[in-house]
Amino acid sequence: MARSLHPLFDAIASARNEQELQLAIMDTVGKHFGVQRSGIYLLNDPSRLTEINVQSIPEACVAHNPVLGYVVERHVPAHEGLVLPPGDWKQLCPRHDHEHVMTGPIVSGGRLVGTVNFTRMSGTPAFDTHDIADLSALCLHLSAKFATLQTQPTRLTSPLASRLTPRELEIAELVAQGLTNVEIGAALWIQPNSVKQALKRMFRKLEVSTRAQLVAQLQSVLASRPVL
């Protein structure tokens, strides 16, 4: 029996901002595709879009990931079986939780603005044509939603908010929710060390030294964002 995509489409349609777009559908996506890891990575700095390369997307197993490269170049979903001969992927990426990988593009204004990424562990089946077809439909809805969100006026006018990048504000909101660096990294599809380094920059920008002080400084800013 075919799996229904409508729960995914409904989750996308109900998202009110980029963070909800990343967080709200992850459980639904994971169950639909039967994956152990999944995530959305959005590029928040438009100046990087014209020179995007494989290395700029986190969670690449190797410096030059051919699956990501294929998606970046063609703006179509791909898994390792479409790009590489049988067995070659595991020579590039030995991680047991990346036994099989699948990535799809999020496109807006003719440019790649993000990717949606899935991995399966050792002992699980490879991604197939049905997965690619479903991911293609998912990427269409994600791309359309992201384009809509980009046209909405920002609600953050605080001088404090202007010191931080959109990604740093996302991290701050998750800090306020009590998440650890590991949990924040999983939610935003970045490495825990990237979260740690981002927090260091945020501490310097806001002239604070603890997570509690960071949240206190941004309390009014975070309160103005939609509640997840």
Q: Amino acid letter at 163? A: R
CATH of 6-150 given 3.30.450.40, 3.40.50.300, 1.10.10.60, 3.40.50.2020: 3.30.450.40
Work out the mean pLDDT of the chain and round it to a whole number.
80
List Cα–Cα distances, 168 to 40, 65, 73, 129, 176, in angstroms: 16, 26, 28, 37, 12
Q: Amino acid letter at 222? A: L
- For the chain, the structural domain boundaries read 6-150, 159-223
pLDDT of residue 54: 37
Domain 159-223: CATH class, spelled out:
mainly alpha
Q: What is the DSSP letter of 86?
A: T
Tokens 């030059």 belong to: 64
- Judged against a pLDDT cut of 60, whether residue 9 lies above it is answered with yes
Count the Cβ atoms, other than its own, within 10 Å of residue 37. Answer: 17
Give per-residue pLDDT as tens, 158-169. Answer: 566 678 888 888
Read off the pTM: 0.62
* Cross-strand partners of 101: 119
Bigger pLDDT: 166 or 44? 166
Integer Cα distance of 104 and 226 in angstroms: 27
Q: What is the DSSP letter of 208?
A: -
Q: Which two tokens stand for residue 211?
A: 């997570």
Give per-residue pLDDT as tens, 198-221. Answer: 999 999 988 899 988 888 888 755
